[in-house]
Structure 1
Amino acid sequence: MTAFRTARAVRTTPEGLLWEPSARWVRGRRGEVTVVDSRRPVLVWEPDVPVPLYAFPREDVREDLLRPAKNPATGTHTGSRIFYDLQLDGELLENAAWTFPAPDLAGHIAFEWFGRAGRGLDHWYEEEEEIFIHPRDPHKRVDALASSRHVRVEIDGTLVADTVRPVLLFETGLPTRFYIPREDVRLELFVPTTNHTGCPYKGRADYWSWRGDAPVPPNVVWSYPDPLPAVGPIRNLLAFYNEAVDITVDGETLERPVTPFTETLERHTRR
């Protein structure tokens, strides 16, 4: 009988890696081919990288598809010196996998995720649910709660949203996001874009940009048309980057927060 792990013992390696076992059944595919299938993955956090990745016991990996890397990507992962190319259906994916030097992780192989790195395995599943970009961090949580707060959003003095029925999304390490019913947003002031992103906690998002002349970054508004079940209440609602617009909640104007998105938003703001 398989024993499900219950302890959350995060361990540290001399190289500065953090890691802990996971009880989730994880599979990674390239197209229709399953390259890794494991009920014994470990989560690994690299120094200064805010999100984790998975590493897997070698026996759970299709090592017959791996070749020693022709051009090892040394310096891209903490202390790693052994990289592998993935050979599959005549396609060679360079540096798709690697091993960490830490003795604690000996016998484990990690993989790039296409959605995050632009190369590597392109479909990942935890149990039967597909996940995107990177593994979910078990030490973070995301809650979507219906609210009756009065939320107003302005761009350069123009009121673009006004609601008393938002859904507030609380995500560890990020500011509260205010998801607003479409009927309460002046969506005619925005234009849909071709930008789409994925989130392991929420799903895939669509975006809109501001039509006006104000210095606003593109893709300032987003929506999840088919969110993951855990955040179902945000379905088809619209959210704005707090970092780039003025949001007032119950009469109090919020300060624009500084987040991991701030630098990118400022760099793409039209001047």
Structure 2
Amino acid sequence: MPTPSTAQSLRTTPEGLLWEPSERWVRGRKGDVTVVDSRHPVLVWEPGVPVPLYAFPRAEVREDLLRPAKNPPVGTHTGSTVFYDLEVAGELLENAAWAFPADDLAGHIAFEWFQRTGRGLDHWYEEEEQIFVHPRDPHKRVDALPSSRHVVVEIGGRVVADTRRPVLLFETGLPTRYYLPREDVRLDLFRPSDRHTGCPYKGTAEYWSWHGEHGGSDVPPDVVWSYPEPLPAVGAIKGLLAFYDEVVDITVDGERLERPVTPFTRTPR
């Protein structure tokens, strides 16, 4: 999460929210119905939440589709006092939107994103590009750099990947991820998963789970992933395979890396 020292445009509310104006044209839809069409969105960071969300001027929201929430939640969002149900095409979506009580954000409405919380609006666009899960953080970098480092991956003491042509992905706030050519990975030791996830920085990922006969009994499912059609900014990782550093052993140029501690440490889901 950014802090006021990282960008002059960030403002802080008494409730502990950080926010800043965005110049992006943002639209949110439920099915084929456009609920938000905003050229004046603001990005909001809630305390303890590493990713931002958008809030929109009421004039750029279909308020005619909002209803006072019948069963408003408690403690779901920072200082939220007013929740709304969303009614679209005869379907009522409970607590799909809310208003922050902060004076700075008076007159703005925020929405849940279906791909993140399982409710709310299910299609979002910045300009003409569809985005997923949550807004992209303008204070975060994601760089995919081809490398000649020697990367070896082991599970239960067994080498499952060995390459000298990785692509290193550096993403603010996360450990370095090593994307490896398929030819250099023992993919025969893994089974395809039916899991897919969306990332606003990289695209849609597909997964594999460990199926080796020896070792790795404590490896959680979906330990390997790939982006078959990544977003253009990280096109260098297309089709390559990456492992969760948190649950496998990775050696880079002869140095065994410590397993990082992240939200994915216990289980990469």
TM over 0.5: yes
Give the superposed CA RMSD: 1.1
Match in the other structure for 2:51: 51
1:193 aligns with 2:196: no
Match in the other structure for 2:203: 203
1:145 shift after superposition: 0.5
1:257 aligns with 2:260: yes
Match in the other structure for 1:239: 242
Q: How many residues align?
A: 260
* Per-residue Cα deviation, 1:12-66 (whole angstroms, up to 9, x for no partner): 0000000000111111000111100111100000111111000000000001111
* Per-residue Cα deviation, 1:142-185 (whole angstroms, up to 9, x for no partner): 00011111111010111111111110000001110000010110
Match in the other structure for 1:12: 12
Instruction: Name the SS of the counterpart of 2:49 in structure 1.
Output: coil
Quick check: 1:208–1:218 contact (8 Å CA) kept in 2?
yes
1:74 shift after superposition: 2.8
Residue type of the alignment partner of 1:174? L
Q: Distance in 1 between matches of 2:247 and 2:185?
A: 16
Residue type of the alignment partner of 1:264? T
Match in the other structure for 1:23: 23
Instruction: Name the SS of the counterpart of 1:264 in structure 2.
Output: coil
Q: Distance in 2 between matches of 1:187 and 1:264?
A: 20
Instruction: Name the SS of the counterpart of 2:239 in structure 1.
Output: coil
Residue type of the alignment partner of 1:19? W
Quick check: 1:69–1:85 contact (8 Å CA) kept in 2?
yes
Match in the other structure for 1:4: none
Return closer, same or farther for 1:35/1:8 CA change in 2, 3 Å cut-off: farther
1:75 shift after superposition: 1.5
Instruction: Name the SS of the counterpart of 2:266 in structure 1.
Output: helix
Which ranges in structure 2 are unaligned for 5 or more consecutive residues? Answer: 1-6
Match in the other structure for 2:232: 229
Identity across matched positions, percent: 80
- Per the normalisation by structure 2, the TM-score is 0.95
Instruction: Name the SS of the counterpart of 1:50 in structure 2.
Output: coil
1:264 shift after superposition: 3.1
Q: Distance in 2 between matches of 1:21 and 1:186?
A: 47
Q: Distance in 1 between matches of 2:204 and 2:8?
A: 29
Q: Distance in 1 between matches of 2:74 and 2:130?
A: 30
Q: Distance in 1 between matches of 2:136 and 2:257?
A: 29
Q: Distance in 1 between matches of 2:173 and 2:72?
A: 34
1:205 shift after superposition: 0.4
Quick check: 1:8–1:20 contact (8 Å CA) kept in 2?
no
- Per the normalisation by structure 1, the TM-score is 0.94
Match in the other structure for 1:41: 41
Q: Distance in 2 between matches of 1:178 and 1:8?
A: 33
Residue type of the alignment partner of 2:55? A
Q: Which runs of 4+ in 1 moved over 2 A?
A: none
